[in-house]
Amino acid sequence: MTTANSLRGRAAVVGIGESTYYKHSQSPDAEFKLVLKAILAACADAGIDPRDIDGFSSFGNDRSDPSRLAAAFGTRQLRSTTMQWGGGGGGCCAAVANGAAAIAAGLAECVVVFRGLAQGQHGRFGQAAASDTISGDMAYQMPYGVLAPPQKFAMKVRRYMYEHGIRQEALRAIALASYHHAQSNPRALMRGKPLDTRSYDESRWIVEPFHLFDCCMENDGAAALLLVSAERAKDFPCKPTYLLGAATGSDHRVAAAPHNAPLYASASFTTVAPDLYRMSGLQAGDVGVVQSYENFTGGVLMALAEHGFYKPEEANEFLTMENLIAPNGRLPLNTSGGNLAECYMHGFELVLEAVRQVRGTSTNQAARSDVALVIGGPMVTPVSSLLFGSEAAQ
């Protein structure tokens, strides 16, 4: 890619913020107020007047309307509003890319990327709901008892594990690493609730191969970050975190129903990851730390392989707790606790943690953190991922 059609080094994160995180349905604040708090926290981190925000970007059908947010902040001029289509948590990285693209194209100068959830106000996000009608993909699933995401995704993961001889211990290592990191993170809802091998093994099955601790939490809260052009980034108090690459999309016919994609046992990054590395000019070996969306640990297993960190047949040897924990693991993973143990903010808390790693302010700082990878929600369509880096990594 040429500089003219690449986002590499065109935008930088200069502020991050979040609300307090709560167990699902326990927030005392409405969803809109949670988003306001997260954006104000990001503005304070950057030293930016919220009235100077002129762009908004989100994903996952976020309900906090940009025009209403702009009115609440007294925004002087609203210039850009984007919502990443589909994919749920698969869009968390694409939302950042969309904001950066708006800046690179001259459509905005200061873009806030955000996500908010208040399930006490709007209902459980991940719970199967009663319906009088069935249509689309669910028409092929519900008659057979496939009602909720764990059931749907378990089939993909079980197929992948069978094809490549992957043991349950690989999934367990991902869960243990997330819980390990959460214990030193004051924001993490599972801080003070450590997980060990025995507790994992004895936890109830949700749907094989997913134990209870293989599944993400459901939470209330909001998280946000602020993007400006790379040229402006050094004018702000915090160390800039530069966008080195971003990609979104899916492989051939991923959404073929019913469960009929040509590449069924996949996290959907087989074409996205090469695009990411092509834009950034980097490869897997340049990455020092990874934040990978864990709706379920099996998605992480597949996504890491599709981003080039190991061959599927090497997963059992690579995915050990020792390899996945900061500071000196081979590939520190989900160093804030992630969706499993920090907070399920539809994966956007992972984006903020990647920024902290590049800044050097994580509660579980990796030994190598000048290049940080974020992987959006796997096994959906479209998915997305991004690479952040320090000034030295540009």
Instruction: Write out the catalytic residue numbers.
Output: 293, 344
- Nearest Cα to Cα of residue 118 among 34, 48, 184, 178: 34
Tokens representing 341 are 């143990």
Contact indicator for 289, 368 with CB cutoff of 8 Å: yes
Which residues make Cβ contacts (< 8 Å) with residue 120, sequence separation at least 6?
A: 24, 25, 26, 27, 220
Q: Is 71 exposed, middle or buried (0-12, 13-18, 19+ CB in 10 A)?
A: exposed
Q: How far apart are CA 132 and CA 6, in angstroms?
A: 46
How many CB atoms sit inside 10 A of residue 238's CB?
Answer: 17
Tokens representing 180 are 């390990």
DSSP annotation string for 192-215: T----HHHHHHSPEEETTEEGGGB
Angstrom CA distances, 302 to 207, 249, 264, 331, 339, stand at 18, 16, 12, 15, 17
DSSP annotation string for 75-130: -S---EEEE--S-GGGGHHHHHHHHHHHHHTTS-SSEEEEEEE-HHHH--SSS---
Rounded to 5°, angle at Cα 48 from 67 and 9: 90
